[in-house]
Amino acid sequence: MPRGRFPVKALAAAMAVAVKRGLVRMYERGPGSIATFSIVRPGRLAEVQIKRLERIGCTKESLDRDAAAEITGLKMYPSCPQISRELWGISEDYFIRFFRILENGFLELGSDGEPLPAGVMVRPDQVPGPVRYLRRRRREQAAKEKTRKVPPVEEAPHLPEGKSPKKTDLSKT
């Protein structure tokens, strides 16, 4: 059983993708729960388990080692073309990689649930949206901390409307 806090932000990032794919049904979290949620759409049911990954650019061997419990749990669901057993790996920047668990390995998917072409792997710098926004925002905040604060410029004297400045008005300030 995983230890630590429940990954609320990771679940929110995953739900944003899941809602685009179909009707989402959440499962109660607790001992013995196999999947986090399921996605129902015409012709396909996807049982999804979310897993926090330390290295999002992991190989299939390291993923098999790091997520062995989740993969074993998902293999309890029957394997057929209508049921997709999916493991969603989420990084600390909330970048998500999608994997379909097969009987003898797994297949990487796109965010739409369709298999990626052979040899293609999605990298975090290729993804638009929240990941790039979070990284850009972190860079901007880091730049603000490094910049010098300039004191405000003194304001010019305010004159009533319709009057032009005279030499005496300027000398009073």
Check if the beta carbon of residue 13 is closer than 8 Å to that of residue 96. yes
Check if the beta carbon of residue 38 is closer than 8 Å to that of residue 45. yes
pLDDT, position 54: 78
Beta strands in 4-122 (DSSP E): 23-26, 37-41, 44-52, 83-90, 96-102, 105-109
pTM: 0.65
Each residue's pLDDT tens digit in the chain (173 positions)? 456 666 788 888 888 889 998 999 998 887 778 888 999 999 899 999 988 887 777 777 888 888 888 888 888 999 888 999 999 888 877 788 888 988 888 888 888 888 877 766 555 555 444 555 556 667 777 777 766 666 666 665 565 666 665 666 555 55
pLDDT, position 117: 78
| Length of the chain counted residue by residue | 173
**Cα distance between residue 102 and residue 60, in whole Å:** 13
- For residue 10, what are its two tokens? 């990771």
The tens digit of pLDDT for each residue in 8-55 reads 888 888 888 899 989 999 988 877 788 889 999 998 999 999 888 877
Check if the beta carbon of residue 111 is closer than 8 Å to that of residue 97. no
